[in-house]
Amino acid sequence: MTGNAGEPIEKDALTEIEQDALAEIANMGVSRAANSLRQMVGAQVLLSVPAVSIVTRGAASKLVERNDAKKLVAVQQSFEGPFDGRALLIFPEAQSLELVRSIVGDQHSLEDVIDLEHEALAETGNIILNGCLATIANVLNRTMRMSLPSIIRGDGASLFEVEGAASGGQFVLFLYIDFNIKKRDVHGFIALLMDLPSIAALKEIVSDFINAIDKQPSGHAG
Amino acid sequence: MPYQVLIVDDSKLARMVMASAFRRIRPEWSLAEAANADDALTAMAGGAVDIALIDFNMPGTDGLELVARIRKTHPAMPVAIVSANVQNEIIGRARELNAGFIPKPLTDEALAAFLSGAALRLRKVTP
């Protein structure tokens, strides 16, 4: 793993078909999870096409700070298994109350909504992120352990630990999908950050998956 | 009788998974692939396509918009949306367009069931 300051490793780290596979598998995870969110908010959840890239933590943190919305709130869960990383559900901070309101109902007062915010975000994040990772684990036929959800507030850099133990220049596999809740002013991202030491493991898993496509048990001729 | 099926998905992996399922379920049918709506419409205009399987979440024109466009020229063609996006609105819109819905991750069972129905419908249309 040579993540030095020169030409980054991103070009070669994953082949085109590996990136395609990851995007497709993540898309299945997020699409399934979006249905859980849809059931919670009672309105359609619109999803973007997923983007997969290998970037530094610093670059990833900039990607989530869109439209000058630098104050973010995120529900995050760590996962461990054949590969390790973190899954995050991220909103501009100004919108988290609107999300909570769309879940608990419009009849609640602002005080109630503020009281419920932490719990509602943790629960929403838990359902969406678990749903997403469970689908990914099932598709890849692997088991993943998930931590309990925690809530982080701050800019992109603090969400992605650009400073501190992990350096901002460290490369991560970054996968994200935008979502919007129809008829509500709520938009956010689901992001997966995987540590680079896991990429070798990830490559192997994706390649096993691709090789196994033709070896699925048959049984329904005609 | 073997039919010609068009698979429309921006993901090559998804097309590989679909093609692999066909080799198990309907090995005698022929497959064509398109990576986006424009290529799909070009393939349709060729006139050889009997059945279309269409991903929903694609860059540019999404799968449901594509089905709506196909319906203008092919009102009776058996078509299914293939997606992990199992929200009521997506499935409901597919129904409105007289299209089936096959959930991802794809299973042989779900694909086989749609194809059996499609084959029956095509037999009625072309005796």
**DSSP codes, A69-128:** ---EEEEEEEEESSS-EEEEEEEEHHHHHHHHHHHH-TTS-HHHHHHHHHHHHHHHHHHH
pLDDT reported for residue A6: 36
How many Cβ pairs within 8 Å bridge chains A and B?
72
Q: Residue A70 — pLDDT band, cuts 50, 70, 90?
A: confident
B4-125 is classed CATH 3.80.10.10: no
- Residue B45's pLDDT band, with cuts at 50, 70 and 90, is very high
pLDDT at B84 over 80: yes
The answer to whether the Cβ–Cβ distance between A24 and B89 falls below 8 Å is no
Question: Rounded to whole angstroms, how far apart are CA atoms A111 and A99?
Answer: 15
Which 8-state DSSP code applies to residue B70?
A: H
Distance from CA of A79 to the nearest CA of B (A): 21
A3 Cα to chain B: minimum distance (Å)? 28
ipTM value greater than 0.90: no
- A177–chain B Cβ distance below 8 A for any pair: no
- Listed range (A59-68, A164-173, B102-111) with the worst mean pLDDT: A164-173
- Quick one: average pLDDT of A123-141? 87
pLDDT digits (tens, 9 = 90+) for B100-117: 999 999 999 999 999 999
State whether A135 and B25 contact (CB < 8 Å): no
Across chain B, mean pLDDT equals 94
* One-letter amino acid of A108: H
| Residue A220 pLDDT | 36
What's the whole-number mean pLDDT along residues B47-56?
96
Distance CA A15, CA A64 (A): 25
Q: What is the mean pLDDT of residues A198-203?
A: 78
| Contact criterion met (CB < 8 Å) for A24 and B88 | no
Whether B29 shows a pLDDT value over 90: the answer reads yes
pTM of the model: 0.80
How distant is the Cα of A211 from the closest Cα of chain B, in angstroms?
11
Percentage of chain A lying above the pLDDT 90 cut = 8
Please give the distance of CA A152 from its chain centroid, rounded to a whole number: 14
> Per-residue pLDDT averaged across A95-114, rounded?
86
Q: Do B86 and A32 touch (CB under 8 A)?
A: yes
DSSP secondary structure code for residue B35 in this structure: S
CA distance A40 to chain B (A): 12
Q: Provide the chain A residues 68-127 that lie in CB contact (below 8 A) with chain B.
A: none
Give A222's pLDDT tier (boundaries 50, 70, 90). very low
Question: What pLDDT score does A163 carry?
Answer: 61
**In angstroms, rounded to a whole number, what is the distance separating the alpha carbons of residues B32 and B51?**
10
